[in-house]
Structure 1
Amino acid sequence: MTEFTPAGSGEVPRPSPPPPDGMLRIRGGVGGLSFQFEELLAGAAALDAVVRQLYAVEGEADGIRRSLFEYQTDSYRSGSDAIIAVGEAGRDVGRVRAELEHIAAQVRASHREYEFTEARNALLLRMGLSGPEYGSAQGPFELPGVRDQVEHGVAAAPRGLALLLGLPVPLAGAVGALSGPADVRRAVRELTTAPGLGFLKPRPVRVVGSETAIADVDVSPGGLLRRAEAVGRNSGDIEVIRIDGGDRPAWVVIIPGTQLGGPPEGTNPFDAAGIAEALGYDSAATSAAVGQALREAGAEAGEQLAVVGYSQGGIHAMNLSRDKAFLAEFDLKFVLTAGSPVGGISPEPGIGSLHLEHQHDWVPGADGLANADTRDRVTVTLTNNLTLPPPQDFGLGPGHNLENYAAGAEAVSASRDPSLQASTAALAAVVGAGGSATVTRFSLRREALPAPGVLTAPGPERRAAVPPSARPAVPRTGPAATPVPLGVPG
């Protein structure tokens, strides 16, 4: 019978990026490079434990061989055979032990090479030298997408500024290395202090109304993103979904993307000032309003929660994943984002996240940072071709279209990639299979700016100065109120 030897048999296992899955380019998760190396190091540690045991076996075998010497004269032939057999067994154990030591050493050497490569890439990024010519994920004949170009440009801003000031290239590179990638958070905060831009500073955000209905809810990634599109049609709305079916209710919060068109100093928390709050101030005001909405909907401690956000909403959603005050009250388990620049946000341990980006969507690269590659964090880059819309519908570009992201999420759900299967399973563990659920739309409003020339004090006095017109009347009901039709597809 013919025997086949697997390709690479006997060699040290080497991590490799997951292959493209149709239009999906996948990074992170249980199939990601970082987790593969974690597994290799764990394997090397396990090999070390086996090696220690084999050393002990070798010692015992040699002890037994020596103890047989005094009995060799009783029966020279059989005694000699026994001594030889025990000695050979000990040497066989030693050969296996030496081979395992060699494999463990090779694994660690491979990990050191990986660490060196990562350190090199980080240094190049700090110097502003990033792109396909320095070893990015693109193939040798593939141009970087708009998303990567924007991310590289933002990251290289300090170096570009140094070159603009006339510094020679080596010195500009050193400036970039010392300053690191552009600090978008700091830049946003400084921008809000500029004359005439004070309206970008955060102001308190509160729930001013709600309506509740019973609806069939598709809790797949694609279905939840489509709900984000529906929620975004009403300025300042978020959606809180209560899903029954387990021992305790589970909750989903849906946060829409940026809503433009109103005055820049307006009260819609998801306008341009909402971007500044999300990128520069960790969404402190919006996070407080989301917590208020959850409490009014009836969420209690210990009940699991998933948050879904599109564009600006994804930044708010990820900021919740590191908000210690919010996490002390709510058991956030999973965050799903689409088209959101969230590379600079690291969630607390144990919170899974799935991020959808398109290679021709510049928005996810606007913070100049790539998403981390970890076991619980998966980033999917969509590479499908796009249709150029008419000028009046161009918006932020065809790559930022939410329906395109929803279609990509459906491809994610159908994928057999191990990272995606584990990530979608983590989301399903929170939200279940879907079906009938209690859906509450909450209307959020940001505190209005004081009238010009009016002095206001912090606290209740300032809140009393907000004109009534800044808080439009919205019918308010609690979770137990009579359901009101929302007119939103399930």
Structure 2
Amino acid sequence: MTRDDGDGTGFSITGGAGRVKYTLAEIEAAARGIGPVGEDAQELATALAGELRWMSDFAAQLVASGLQGADATYYAARAAEAFLSSAQERAAAAGQGVAELARHASAAAGRYEAAEAETVARERAKRRQALLAGVQVSAAGIFGPLVFLGQLRQARDAAERGGLRDQAEDMLNDGPAYLTGLLGPMAGLAYLLGHGSFAGRGNSGVEAAAGVRRFFDWSGLAKPGHLELRQVPAGEWHAAPGEGQPGRAAPDPFEPVRVDVGPGAAGLLAGSQDAYGYPPGSVVVDRLDRPDGTRAWIVHLPGTEDWSTVDSANPMDLEGDLEGLTAAQQEHFKQQEVVVQEMMRQALAAAGARATEDVMITGHSGGGIHAAAAAANPQFLADFNVKMIIIAGAPARNLPVAPGVKVLDFQNEDDIVTALDYGPPPDSADWVTVTSHRSGGADVKGAVETVKNAHDLGNYLDDAAALERSSDPGIQAVQGSVGLFLGRAAAGGLAGGGPLTVSRRVYQGRDVDGPKPERRARPG
């Protein structure tokens, strides 16, 4: 992890090329691969030593023979002998160096394994502390509320030091142990016996989302449905149907509209902010015509738009969020289709995207969940060549994005929405996480406003803009990936040049309850 102050806002950055925490298996594999190289170098050095002895004996015999031209041949032999001697020394040194590197790799594997064990031990200790804290409240009797208030004050102080996000993650992971402790010492003892391993955080976020979704299925709050998609005419983008908007309508309302977008992470992520301004349930599809004649596609997703009911007609609702979080377990629920993913699929196909053309997806909050879920779905990746996703304020840790898909993940230390995946994002070469430590501003009062400002997409766009001149290796790697996607050099920061002009279409989806009607064959 590194810190980058950008333009005055503090950042913590994890993951990315140049700063990768390798897994134990990768370190051990590297050690196994390096070892034979060292052995080969040592064998080469031994073979060269034999050749060197033969050459030395030959030169001595040549001088003793007294043959005509022996002196000239002798000097040539001595030159070859010197070359062989130098090669033998280099091979021997290389063999020793590689062998030493292999030993260091093996030692690193041991240290990494110890560090992993220490991390698990810390998680177990935190879980036990939560259990004991609950027991303390229970054992205090009538003074239990006072003990609870003291614990609450300690939690508040920890949140002020480290941010609400990490504190919320701890509460989600350790909450069951604490609640069990409230039932008394015997319940705590039973919990210890039943959960003696106190395993790490794992993918508890998926389990929690699956549990909520099963309840919605059982209660009937969520009903299986299907997608209905339409292209939104340009005149309806920012106005009610029929009202239009000066300067926005095209001669053909269904033709794409030329739109200028910023070429950096902030400009690309701003497309998700645009998506909030279109009719509810809309997804934006931008076609980028590259200088080399190829095309690329950028899909922009808004976050959750409808909180009025669990299962609304808008695919960007609570049911949609749960579909995204549990996309890898879709077969276990009544709803077999991830509606937002199907909306992206149909919108890209309608816009003319081909399977071989590069695709980028941006999303905020729930939209970030769906971006990661699509990048983790083999079927979606078989239809569309997703190269990169840019997400903000999204709990996407438990979605196994496919190797090779680049992820730029913006979070804030007080954004508790990002804690709903129960842990930190992956620390890998492909996944770069930027955590901003910006406050909500001097006028922000209270936890509610702090959380609201932490999750605000406009503030995340400011974070992205502040990082455009960062020297962090992970950010520079993202900069290169963005430049390659856009078909231009990424020199000069994430912006990599002036604004881009894209051809934009907007599609609106509806989640309609009931099975999809079968198409009837036309008479004749």
TM-score by length of 2: 0.70
Q: From the two aligned structures, give the one with the greater helix fraction.
A: 2
Deviations 1:331-355 (A, max 9, x none): 1100000010011011112211110
Equivalence for 2:12: 25
1:244 aligns with 2:286: no
Paired residue for 2:188? 167
Deviation string 1:112-148 (CA, Å, 9 cap, x unpaired) is 20233124324644776499xxxxxxxx999321111
Q: Does structure 1 residue 441 correspond to structure 2 residue 506?
A: yes
Counterpart Cα distance in 1 of 2:62 and 2:500:
83
Q: Alignment partner for residue 277 of structure 1, among 277, 300, 323?
A: 323
Structure 1 residues 178 and 111: alpha-carbon distance in aligned structure 2, compared to 1, 3 A threshold: closer
> Does 2:448 align with 1:404?
no
Measured after TM superposition, the shift of residue 30 of structure 1 is 0.8
Alpha-carbon deviations, 1:136-195, whole Å to 9, x = none? Answer: xxxx99932111112222233454455455223982694463585463323323323437
Aligned amino acid, residue 381 of structure 1: T
1:312 paired to 2:377:
no
TM-score by length of 1: 0.75
| Cα pair 1:278 1:319 within 8 Å, conserved | yes
Aligned to 1:120: 118
Q: Are 1:64 and 2:76 matched, yes or no?
A: no
Q: CA-to-partner distance for each residue in 1:194-224, whole Å, 9 max, x for gaps?
A: 3785334553233134234221122321112
Q: How does 1:39-438 map to 2 (within 5 A)?
A: 45=33, 49=37, 52-62=40-50, 64-65=52-53, 68=56, 94=92, 97-122=95-120, 124-125=122-123, 129=127, 143-164=161-182, 166-168=187-189, 171=192, 174-175=195-196, 177=198, 181=202, 183-194=204-215, 197-200=219-222, 203-211=225-233, 212-233=256-277, 234-245=279-290, 246-260=292-306, 262-281=308-327, 284-387=338-441, 388-389=443-444, 394=449, 396-432=451-487, 434-438=499-503
The amino acid across from 1:316 in the alignment is: H
Aligned letter for 1:296?
Answer: A
Greater alpha carbon shift after TM alignment, 91-100 vs 28-37: 91-100
Q: Is the 8 A contact 2:298 2:361 kept in 1?
A: yes
The CA distance in 2 between the partners of 1:424 and 1:404, in whole Å, is: 20
Using the TM superposition, give the Cα deviation of residue 411 of structure 1 relative to its aligned residue in structure 2, in angstroms.
Answer: 2.2
Report if the CA contact (8 A) 2:260-2:501 is conserved.
yes
With over 3 angstroms needed to count, the CA separation of the structure-2 counterparts of 1:90 and 1:161, relative to structure 1, is same
Q: Distance in 2 between matches of 1:130 and 1:372?
A: 25
Task: Give 2:188's aligned amino acid.
Answer: L
Identity within the alignment, %: 25
Closer, same or farther: CA 358–309 of 1 in aligned 2, 3 Å = same
Question: For 2:355, what is the secondary structure of its paired residue?
Answer: coil
In structure 2, how many angstroms separate the alpha carbons of the residues matched to 1:424 and 1:89?
42
CA apart distance, 1:260: 3.5
Instruction: Return the alpha-carbon distance in structure 2 between the equivalents of residues 267 and 318 of structure 1.
Output: 23
What secondary structure sits across from 1:366 in the alignment? helix
CA–CA separation in structure 2 for the residues paired with 1:416 and 1:327: 32
Alpha-carbon distance in 2 for matches of 1:197, 1:418: 49
- CA distance in 2 between counterparts of 1:371 and 1:260 reads 26
Change (3 A) 1:341 1:45: same
* Contact in 2 for aligned 1:26/1:379 (Cα 8 Å): yes
Instruction: Indicate if the aligned counterparts of 1:231 and 1:256 stay in contact, CA closer than 8 A.
Output: yes
Separation (CA, whole Å) in 1 of partners of 2:369 and 2:385? 19
The total of aligned residue pairs comes to: 428
| CA offset digits 1:261-317 (Å, max 9, x no partner) | 544442111122222222234572211111011111111221110000000000000
Q: 2:412 and 2:193 mapped to 1: Cα distance?
A: 31
Give the whole-Å Cα distance in 2 for the aligned partners of 1:87 and 1:298: 65
2: CA distance between counterparts of 1:197 and 1:170? 29
Retained in 1: the 8 A contact 2:27–2:109?
no
CA contact (8 A) 1:126 1:181 kept: no
Q: Contact (CA 8 Å) 1:200, 1:272: kept in 2 or not?
A: no
Flag the 1:256–1:61 CA change in 2: closer, same or farther, 3 A: same
Q: 1:34 aligns with which of 10, 21, 24?
A: 21
| Cα distance change of structure 1 residues 67 and 239 upon mapping to structure 2, 3 Å threshold | closer
Residues 43-96 of structure 1: CA deviation (Å, up to 9, x unaligned): 9945752552243223321453267468768879x99xx8x9999996786466
Task: Indicate if the aligned counterparts of 1:159 and 1:172 stay in contact, CA closer than 8 A.
Answer: no
1:460 to 2:517 alignment: yes
Whole-Å separation in 1 of the counterparts to 2:193 and 2:126: 9
Per-residue deviation, 1:26:
0.9
Contact 1:225-1:308 at 8 Å conserved across structures: yes
SS in structure 1 opposite 2:17?
helix
The Cα RMSD (Å) is 4.0
Q: CA deviation at 1:432?
A: 4.0
User: Given residue 343 of structure 2, which amino acid in structure 1 is its aligned partner?
Assistant: A
Is the 1:162–1:172 Cα contact (8 Å) retained in structure 2? Answer: no
| Matched-pair contact (CA < 8 Å) for 1:260–1:271 | yes
Give the Cα separation in 2 of the matches to 1:93 and 1:295: 57
**Cα distance change on mapping 1:180 and 1:374 into 2, 3 Å:** closer
Measure, in 2, the Cα distance between the counterparts of 1:117 and 1:381.
23
Q: 1: distance between equivalents of 2:204 and 2:159?
A: 31
